[in-house]
Amino acid sequence: MIEEKSIFRVIKNDKNNAKNNMAIDEALFSCFKENDKPILRVYNWTQSFTVGVSQDFKDYSSNEETKDFKDDYAKRITGGGVLFHGHDLSYSLVIPSHLLGESNIKKSYEKICSFILTFYKNLGLDAKFAKDDENVILSKNEYCQVGFEAYDILVNSKKIGGNAQKRTRKLIFQHGSIPLKSKKSVDNSLIYDKKIGYTLEDFNINIDFEEAKIKLIESFYETFNVDLIYSSLTTEENEKKNKLLKDKYDYK
């Protein structure tokens, strides 16, 4: 189980575009071998957007809301709707299934996402899962930050981030988004934008990306009591990422 002093590789990346971020995620997942250390990756984005694995970019090519992103977009290896980036911090986890015991999909979400709850609570926010908020009706929406899935995280009944999984028989991949920065008007007041949803700034939490990455890693350590080894991509992972960028993520 994760709680039994597992050793995790931690990869802390700088800001990157959507194609590189999603190619790294896929490379980490596809290169993972049975006895490898589980991985926690934290990173942020340029102004970009991603769509779920089963979605078609043609559905968004003439969309007014995506025209400003030019070619900075990518498909995730998980499902879900369109998700806008640049204002958010993200994490990815690659975990052998046996570390979560007999957990089904719902229980694995609850177990894994507990460190996100810790992150928000350490910032002084009363965070809970959507399924535990009596004021919320679970629903889906083409915008990831608008719909309510059971294990989305809410503060004051407002969604503040989401998560998605890809699974094989032996491996669980999960990534998620934590919105930090809101849009601002000319007078610097905050503007709610359904494309990005509610952010930490909407709850009077002002934190930069580097500090947020550190606090997220600390919350992971606090929640699971694991040993952390800082790392970068291996030669194999980097070569796989580059191959994916050429063969799969070049959408032209």
Domains and CATH numbers, the chain: 7-247 (3.30.930.10)
The enclosing H or E element of 183 equals strand 183-184
Q: What is the pTM for the complete model shown? A: 0.90
CA distance 104 to 122: 28
47-94 per-position pLDDT tens digit: 999 999 988 877 765 565 666 777 899 999 999 888 999 999 999 999
Would you say the C-alpha torsion 140, 141, 143, 145 has a positive or negative sign?
negative
89-141 per-position pLDDT tens digit: 999 999 999 888 767 778 888 899 999 999 999 999 999 888 887 777 655 65
